[in-house]
Structure 1
Amino acid sequence: MIKAFVVDNDRLHLVDDLVQNSDTVVWVDLFNPTKEEETTIETWLGIAVPTREEMEEIEISSRLYVEDGAYFMTAILPAQTEVNDPLMSPVTFVLAGSRLITVRYHEPKAFKTFPLRAEKVATGCTSGDTILIGLLEAIVDRLADILERAGRDVEAISRDIFEARSTKVSKRNRDFQELLKGIGRKEDLASSIRDSLISLQRLAGFLAHASTQSRMSKDIRARIKTLSRDVLSLADHATFLSQKISFLLDATLGMISIEQNAIIKIFSVAAVIFLPPTLVASIYGMNFDIIPELKWHFGYPFAIGMMVLSAILPFWYFRRRGWL
């Protein structure tokens, strides 16, 4: 799919036909492009549109490079962050003179919100470089919103871990299972956002160098510096969030260990308490002909009393030492 935008009264306007408006188009957004659509762009601008395999290369030289006078920049961006399984995929930004071409195979939310805003409000996006900066700023704002929401979710998980829990063991087990699942999802999201921010940080550095080489305006260079600082601060926040999630994971595992130790302690104490009565019962259960208490009138209550007393004394001792 090809989306072509032109500038109309300092606002972006979507046009239906790229060929008829080829002279005025400033931004072309390629979403899941076909081979024919790629050929159309390559013929129009005289550049090679990167394939999906080339976009997924992990080498920096394959993501940030200059070819035929155009600057190619690829970053990993998230989509579908509202669900538990966000989609991470590369997006390539091609700055060819005064035009911007974006190539993507998924739909980050910024690619929906930015054109709508630029169509309604004069944002100063009148050329490829200004559109690129505006789009990158919208992407960074979106990543900040995702991290903010993830931070609130992590705070809720923290409260669930350390607040008083249900007294039923089965309910506590289910709670801990849900907490571990929630922690795993948030760690996956934080790691994905951190990877995205790292790729954007490299892109911003490359773009800063490109702005010097192509002699962009002073305002554009200042916005690129601000963008770099914002990305760096968000990357630090994502790292902090990952560290907090790791702490919560350790805390949850510690709480589970405490629960298990408490259960094992109950069984251990019960075994110690019932051991002396078992010994008394075993003594009087031996098959010897001569046991003085067998013929004694108070022999049975005496044996019962010994068993009860031998159970009470260890229980009292454990309570006194604070082991129960």
Structure 2
Amino acid sequence: MINNFTEHQGFEWIDLIDPTAEELTGVAEKYNLHPALVNDCLQPDHLPKYERMEDYAFIIFRIHTHNNVVEADTVQELTHKIAFFYSSRFIITVHRRNHDLILPIVELVKHEKCSNTLDLLNLLISACLNTYTEPLSKLAKAVDYYEEVVFLRPKKAPLLKGLYYLKRKTDLLKRMLILSFDIIDALDSQEGNVNTRDTRDLYVKHQSILDALFENIHQLLAIYFSVSSQKTNETMRILTIFSVFFMPLTFIVGVYGMNFEFMPELKWEMGYPGVMAMMVLVTIAIYFWFKRKGWL
């Protein structure tokens, strides 16, 4: 579907929603778009890019989806692609589905709030960046939750799986923003433009949040493995202490369980209580030895 939102504004905004091959080819021929860039529009998993041609620029920006699946961890599950062809005469946006961010900007254009294509592109990129605001807030809350569980409720349910998906989402979103830097840098290339500077500030804010989340998650993973290792060591220590107590007792029982004919203790009337007393004394001696060493 092809929409023309700015027929009488001095520039054109052509919005293509899930275009057919014929629609895309017709627009490409009309505006002399490079076939390789048009082909990039059709790749659903294409990463963010900025490419400057002779008389226009090509941008691919990935926006965050409304996908609330906890275990989403791929580019296509977490983000959608919007392609832009931008010049002083026109802006062409290409995307596969309707996005909520488009309609408010259409209203601004209809009320002549955009005087040129740079203002329109800035509004679109800013709206794309804003799709990351709520997901980053949720990621921050999730990290706080897992931090509380690691430190205060270590027996709470599976942490490692949740931390894995948090790490994957943070890594992916961070990579999307890093790859989008050229787009923001090109957009804010003119000094004194307050609107594009605000967009850069929003980009830097999101990047700072992701950097902090990325560091916190790695620290949580390190702490989690450290605590797990400490628990394992504590369990092994207790088992070792029990085994040290029972080793001499097992040896004594093994000796007297051989039942040789010429074992005098087997014929003694006090043989059994004597062996039991010896086992108690050995146990007490080991206990005090451990206390003296500070192992108990």
Greater mean alpha carbon deviation, residues 94-103 or residues 114-123: 114-123
CA distance in 1, matches of 2:283, 2:111: 84
1:280-314 CA-partner distances (Å, limit 9, x unpaired) = 22232344444332232221111112123323432
Residues 1:261 and 1:226: Cα distance change in structure 2 (over 3 Å): same
Residues 1:79 and 1:164: Cα distance change in structure 2 (over 3 Å): closer
SS at 2:131 equivalent: helix
Alignment of 1:43-192 (within 5 A): 43-48=29-34, 50-52=38-40, 63-67=50-54, 69-84=55-70, 85=72, 86-88=77-79, 90-105=81-96, 111-116=99-104, 118-119=106-107, 124-125=113-114, 127-166=116-155, 175=157, 178-192=158-172
Among 12, 15, 18, which residue is 1:32 paired with? 18
TM-score by length of 1: 0.76
CA distance in 2, matches of 1:54, 1:35: 9
CA distance in 1, matches of 2:125, 2:142: 26
Q: Which amino acid aligns with 2:4?
A: A
1:141-197 CA-partner distances (Å, limit 9, x unpaired) = 22232212111110101101111344xxxxx6xx2xx21111111111111211221
* Equivalent residue number for residue 233 of structure 2: 261
CA distance in 1, matches of 2:176, 2:147: 25
- Is the Cα–Cα contact under 8 Å of residues 62 and 79 in structure 2 kept in the other structure? yes
Among 227, 238, 243, which residue is 2:215 paired with? 243
CA distance in 1, matches of 2:17, 2:162: 32
* Equivalent residue number for residue 14 of structure 1: none
Deviation of residue 118 (structure 1)?
A: 4.9
SS at 2:188 equivalent: helix
SS at 2:33 equivalent: coil
- Is the Cα–Cα contact under 8 Å of residues 72 and 95 in structure 1 kept in the other structure? yes
SS at 1:33 equivalent: coil
1:267-292 CA-partner distances (Å, limit 9, x unpaired) = 22221110111122223234444433
Residues 1:229 and 1:22: Cα distance change in structure 2 (over 3 Å): closer
Deviation of residue 57 (structure 1)?
A: 6.8
SS at 1:83 equivalent: coil
CA distance in 1, matches of 2:214, 2:151: 19
CA distance in 2, matches of 1:3, 1:314: 86
CA distance in 2, matches of 1:303, 1:153: 60
- Is the Cα–Cα contact under 8 Å of residues 88 and 116 in structure 2 kept in the other structure? no
Q: Which amino acid aligns with 2:52?
A: Y
Residues 1:122 and 1:24: Cα distance change in structure 2 (over 3 Å): closer
TM-score by length of 2: 0.82
SS at 1:297 equivalent: coil
- Is the Cα–Cα contact under 8 Å of residues 4 and 25 in structure 1 kept in the other structure? no
Q: Does 1:306 align with 2:278?
A: yes
Among 197, 207, 211, which residue is 2:177 paired with? 197
SS at 1:124 equivalent: coil
CA distance in 1, matches of 2:242, 2:267: 33
SS at 1:101 equivalent: strand
CA distance in 1, matches of 2:292, 2:274: 27
- Is the Cα–Cα contact under 8 Å of residues 64 and 74 in structure 1 kept in the other structure? no
Cα RMSD for the two superposed structures = 3.1
CA distance in 1, matches of 2:17, 2:294: 68
